[in-house]
Amino acid sequence: MKRILVAVCFISIVSIAALGQKKNVTNTTMSDQQFVDFAAQTDMVEANLGQLAGTVASAQSVKDYAQMLVTDHTNDFQQLSNVAHQANLNLPTAIDAEHNKTMVNPFQTLKGAAFDHRYVQEMVAGHTKAIAIYKKEAADAQNSALKSYAEQTLPILEKHLGGAKNLQAAKTPAK
């Protein structure tokens, strides 16, 4: 019996370690095209969800935060478009099916405080991930214009993360 228990624990630990290695996106190097794809999808999703928040969020602070994201990510998409064009990289112009399914669709049925809570949670998680990826691109980009773009965008993403964390700490969106 003890051997079975030890074997089960060992398999569990090895499985968890393997899953952790696969999920750590920031340790893998992205090509410049992959980064442009990621950044464009992020900008489009953030603007889309921000517009939705303007109509279905209940807390004014969440609506104000969302409007800031719409403005900033729309402007960022324009900057990204210019940089991608300079670097001869393709820029996605629509949210892809994966991001629609995982990021946009789950919000379509939420309203009020339930929307606020989920939105703020997703903004903290999403901006944390984006900052890690932008930092890596700022350090490792092959194209100097993309490297500069990533460096210049980081403070905006950090401002967004700080705003989301402030909303979370204020417990404005109800659970």
pLDDT tens for 90-142 read 999 999 999 999 999 999 999 999 999 999 999 999 999 999 999 999 999 99
Tokens of 90: 């393709």
Q: Region 20-38: what's the mean pLDDT? A: 70
What angle in degrees, to the nearest 10, is found between the helix axes of 112-140 and 32-56?
160
Domain ranges of the chain: 30-170
Q: How far apart are CA 8 and CA 74, in angstroms?
A: 50
Contact (Cβ atoms closer than 8 angstroms) between residue 33 and residue 141: no
Of 2.30.30.90, 3.30.360.10, 3.40.50.300, 1.20.1260.10, which CATH number belongs to 30-170? 1.20.1260.10
